[in-house]
Structure 1
Amino acid sequence: MTVTVFGSVNADLTFPVPELPAPGHTVLGGAWRAVPGGKGANQAVAAARDGAPVRFIGAVGRDPMAAIALSALRNAGVDLSAVLETEAPTGAACICVDAEGRNQIAVSPGANALARAAQVPPLAPGTILLMQMETPPGEIAALIRRARGEGARPILNLAPAGPMEPEVLRALHLLITNEHEAAWLAARLGCAATAGALHAALGIAVAVTLGERGAEAATGSAQWRVEAIPARVADTTGAGDCWCGVLAAALSRGAPLDAAMRRAAAAASIAVSHPGAADSMPSAAETDALLK
């Protein structure tokens, strides 16, 4: 089953620094790199490298940065036939990564703000539709409603946290947040920031990633916790995107949610041991080897 990803695609300018800069503080770092990124593109690459047929829908500019932004998607064999070229600049991110692998990120959306739900071809029943919050919320909401009508399985990674009507969230097949996004949403729903409480408030399956403490999930029939796999951390950029993309790939092959979460945890532990975002996503063989 194909995984369709509607989301952002950026060129990431990555700066290795000895420490993350504070306000008004200039830090001299090492050699910078221009690499592909964007939550949508990262997740699409992760799903494709895990073996899923993937179609990516987004928008880029007609500028030299577009080739950088799309390079990992092309190399992973992702279908880019529905990507829109616009006069707006390609989205870009500035990423500082310190000696402990922690990051600080600023993003200019650029062409990502012009991505439209109408670009998405008809969705076959059962298709996994994966989205994030770096494209216009109104387009995401329209696509969630349409996906449900076409029998697809819409999954939203609420990252970065942003407004989305509860009625739209209730139409999801699965909601994914990290612990900070869960706290943001829980404050608006008036519930605790746990997968179980968010599931009770929305009536849908919810997964919450907890960094080095793993992830938890709640559905109508079960709740469980999946532990993270220890790793040597080089760069945490894109780790959450790896988790989401590999989870989507596993679900598209019919894996139950708990098994998909275990695979996602293994893939993310590999991703953080390499620098970069899209370029750090592991192959299916690498993830298989770690799980064994």
Structure 2
Amino acid sequence: MIIIPGSINADLLFPVQTLPAPGETVLCPSYTMAPGGKGANQAAAAAKAGAEVRFIGHVGDDAYGPVVRQLLADAGVEVAGLAVSPRPTAVAVIGVDAHGENQIIVASGANLDTHAGQVPDELLGPGTTLLCQNEIRTEESFRALLRGRARRARTILNLAPATSLPGEVLDALDLLVVNELEARTAARAGAGDGDARALAERLVAGRDLAVVVTLGAKGAIALQAGKLLKVGALPVDPVDTTGAGDAFTGVLAACLDRGLGLELALHRAAVGAALACERLGAQSAQPTLAEIEARAGQLPMPESLG
């Protein structure tokens, strides 16, 4: 079972020809409302990839709250831990250009009320995977991970958005999932302090930790117990890259929770992330387990680089 204390948003998607420069106004014919939030996106991705998932969070007592709650439940996620806040449901405004690139502004709203204490002790323990991100208050994500480690749950952090990572939290992780910017921030490294592999090595030094660094269109690497794996990216014609990172993390967590090894989990996560780019939206674009398996043969298995 995967437990996710995290963010849940109403995403307002604006398809534009080009993203606006500072001070520029661009027009588009319409917009779409879709469910989002890194926590909810990863929960939906994990559930669609075959995991049992329970989500912990807050929505507002407004028009968006019941909608995003129901859509997350429709994705197969248990939402009994989704409370109602006096703050408004979080909203993200997302511009997506003709190449699938995006710009995002998030109003956190009810996500600011989500806290580690909402996760019952009885849900944490061996056999449970605790997956956190950084769109609720960072200190609450960190508190949840420390509680999870103390109760011997598998602990996974997707350090997004990027922020500094205390040593005690890094020590409490089984798996850290980051892009190159987030890896650099977590490693307290400068622009000239090495590539993704060097950053991963810096993060795992002296720790029993696996680090996955996503590389966008170049795929991803994983470093665990001195073994480096590299997987490519499934070639797709991208429509919207908004939910790709969350699809990757959610599928990765689902595979590990189902007992698959890191090599196979990394491969399926790469396939899932690519497929999420083929449709508009975040949760609405997440692929099912059947869709991932149907396309898995199109991507070579990860290469071991020693």
TM-score by length of 1: 0.96
1:125-204 pair list within 5 angstroms: 125-187=126-188, 192=194, 193=196, 194-200=199-205, 203-204=208-209
Shift in Å, 1:125? 1.0
Shift in Å, 1:221? 3.9
Shift in Å, 1:136? 1.1
- The alignment partner of 1:80 has SS state of strand
Higher alpha-carbon deviation: 140-149 or 280-289 = 140-149
Q: 1:229 aligns with which of 213, 228, 234?
A: 234
RMSD between aligned residues: 1.5
CA distance in 1, matches of 2:256, 2:84: 30
- The alignment partner of 2:66 has SS state of helix
Higher alpha-carbon deviation: 160-169 or 185-194 = 185-194
C-alpha distance after superposition, 1:163-215 (max 9, x if no partner): 33122111101000011211222335996453223222755211000000000
Give percent identity, aligned residues only: 48
Closer, same or farther: CA 108–273 of 1 in aligned 2, 3 Å: same
CA distance in 2, matches of 1:241, 1:29: 26
Q: Which residue of 1 aligns with 2:106?
A: 107
Shift in Å, 1:157? 0.1
CA distance in 2, matches of 1:223, 1:196: 10
1:35-54 pair list within 5 angstroms: 35-54=34-53
TM-score by length of 2: 0.91
C-alpha distance after superposition, 1:219-252 (max 9, x if no partner): 1241111111111100000100000000000001
CA distance in 2, matches of 1:68, 1:179: 34
1:185-264 pair list within 5 angstroms: 185-187=186-188, 192=194, 193=196, 194-200=199-205, 203-264=208-269
Instruction: Assess if the C-alpha contact under 8 Å between 1:196 and 1:223 holds in 2.
Output: no
- The alignment partner of 2:211 has SS state of strand
Tell me which amino acid in the other structure corresponds to 1:246: V
Q: Which ranges in structure 1 are unaligned for 5 or more consecutive residues? A: none
Aligned length: 291
Tell me which amino acid in the other structure corresponds to 1:51: G
C-alpha distance after superposition, 1:53-85 (max 9, x if no partner): 110011111111112322331111211111121
Q: Which residue of 2 aligns with 1:74?
A: 73
CA distance in 2, matches of 1:172, 1:24: 42
- The alignment partner of 2:169 has SS state of helix
Q: Which residue of 2 aligns with 1:265?
A: 270
Tell me which amino acid in the other structure corresponds to 2:170: L
Tell me which amino acid in the other structure corresponds to 1:160: P
Instruction: Assess if the C-alpha contact under 8 Å between 1:15 and 1:96 holds in 2.
Output: yes
Tell me which amino acid in the other structure corresponds to 2:28: G
Instruction: Assess if the C-alpha contact under 8 Å between 2:165 and 2:186 holds in 1.
Output: no
CA distance in 2, matches of 1:100, 1:191: 31
Q: Which residue of 1 aligns with 2:304?
A: none
Q: Which residue of 2 aligns with 1:63?
A: 62
Higher alpha-carbon deviation: 69-78 or 33-42 = 69-78
Higher alpha-carbon deviation: 205-214 or 190-199 = 190-199
- For the pair 1:288 / 2:293, whether they are aligned, the reply is yes
